[in-house]
Amino acid sequence: MRQCALALAGALVLLSSCATAPTDPAALAVYKSNNDPLEPLNRKFFAFNEGLDRMIIKPVAQGYLRALPRSARDSVRNFVWNLNDPVVCANDLLQGRFGAAGSSALRFLLDSTAGVVGLIDVASEDGLKRQTGDLGQTFHVWGLPEGPYLVIPVLGPSNPRDGVGMGLQTYLSPFRYVAINNNFPGWATYSPQVAGGVDERSRAIDTLDALKKGAVDYYASLRSLFRQNRTAELEGGPSAPIQEGLYDDPDSAAPQKSGDAGKVSR
């Protein structure tokens, strides 16, 4: 009963936070295109995330940039990506992309051994491209709709399909079970996700600062960029280049980088 009451309360909160669809045909077309009926609630979560980023996440990312040279940061990113390759492999199998699954498995084997537990991306040097593959993508291949745009507290832009996939994927992560079975400290269980998040934020500092400075509506700009990027990733399949950051411009010829020189090259 308690769980049902909480679920009902949550549903009522979401319903009360829905934006009212406009009656003007042009405005209605824009409203449907944005796919953001929860915009009032999303903007509150967005404001919370912005405050958290301003006070904690961005300063930590800036300190990370100052403390570690580019080569060390690349090693952190390679290590985190290598830990995720078994998850990518499993999702590629679930999607029927057996070639991509084999490539991810071989990448994990090479980088975990010759690449010193993934610190060096030996597989890419040998011509093995990094593959995409997450549960949100798998659900997309299976035909599940994404649902409305959703800003998740702390985690940022998403949608119900990807949000559920992200939660399940984190819970089912092989590293999580290794950490639990070997009595790692509690903080260590999710340390790869934290390290990956800090690294990604550090690479997006200049781009997000420039976007915020030039945007009339920063919330709407991020929503558009996230959705374009995610759509490109879902439709690209195994041949799509792996973007370094969530907010890289999917229409650019090469991923943008933020780093040592403080220039936009997410």
pLDDT tens for 12-31 read 345 445 666 666 656 667 76
User: What pLDDT was estimated at residue 180?
Assistant: 86
Quote the mean pLDDT of the chain.
83
Residue 163 or residue 234, greater confidence: 163
- pLDDT tens track for 99-130: 999 999 999 999 999 999 999 999 999 999 99
Give the mean model confidence (pLDDT) for residues 27-45: 85
- Tell me: pLDDT of 252 over 90: no
Task: Please answer whether residues 81 and 130 qualify as being in contact, where contact means their C-beta atoms are separated by less than 8 angstroms.
Answer: yes
Residue 136 or residue 8, greater confidence: 136
Compute the residue count for the chain: 266
CA atoms within 13 A on the CB side of 149: 29
User: What pLDDT was estimated at residue 185?
Assistant: 85
Give the mean model confidence (pLDDT) for residues 75-97: 95
Q: pLDDT grade, residue 220 (50/70/90)?
A: very high
Task: Please answer whether residues 162 and 219 qualify as being in contact, where contact means their C-beta atoms are separated by less than 8 angstroms.
Answer: no
Instruction: For residue 187, give the 3-state DSSP assignment.
Output: helix
Alpha-carbon gap, residue 82 to 76, rounded angstroms: 10
Give the mean model confidence (pLDDT) for residues 62-91: 96
Alpha-carbon gap, residue 143 to 149, rounded angstroms: 17
Q: Could you tell me what percent of the chain has a pLDDT over 90?
A: 64
Alpha-carbon gap, residue 250 to 99, rounded angstroms: 24
User: What pLDDT was estimated at residue 152?
Assistant: 97
The tokens for 179 are 């950490």
- pLDDT tens track for 130-158: 998 999 999 999 999 999 999 999 999 99
pTM for this one?
0.79
Instruction: For residue 127, give the 3-state DSSP assignment.
Output: coil
- Tell me: pLDDT of 176 over 60: yes
Alpha-carbon gap, residue 237 to 247, rounded angstroms: 18
- pLDDT tens track for 201-219: 999 999 999 999 999 999 9
Distance of CA 68 to the CA centre of its chain: 23
